Structure 1
Amino acid sequence: MKQKDPFKNLMNQINLNALFLTMNFQNGII
């Protein structure tokens, strides 16, 4: 249970970052 998939975890982090950047771009923050 303690063993997690590092690649899946990395992909989740990348997806969150991409989503955050996309929302900021659409809101004109960047």
Structure 2
Amino acid sequence: EKLKEMGYQIIRFKNEEVYYQLEEVLNEIKSFF
């Protein structure tokens, strides 16, 4: 049960990291227009 909880936290952390990177890329793209 504890392991499953840790897995969810890792997945959530990775998703937030990816989302943050996507947001940065989008902001860079917007600055070109």
With CA pairs under 8 Å and 6+ residues apart, which has the higher RCO, 1 or 2?
Answer: 1
User: How many residues in Structure 1 have an aligned counterpart in Structure 2?
Assistant: 27
Larger gyration radius, structure 1 or structure 2: 2
* Structure 2 unaligned spans of 5+: none
Deviation above 6 Å: which 4+ runs of structure 1?
Answer: none
State percent identity of aligned pairs: 11
Q: Which has the higher helix share?
A: 2
| TM-score after normalising by structure 1 | 0.71
* Structure 1 unaligned spans of 5+: none
| TM-score after normalising by structure 2 | 0.66
RMSD in angstroms over aligned alpha carbons?
Answer: 2.0
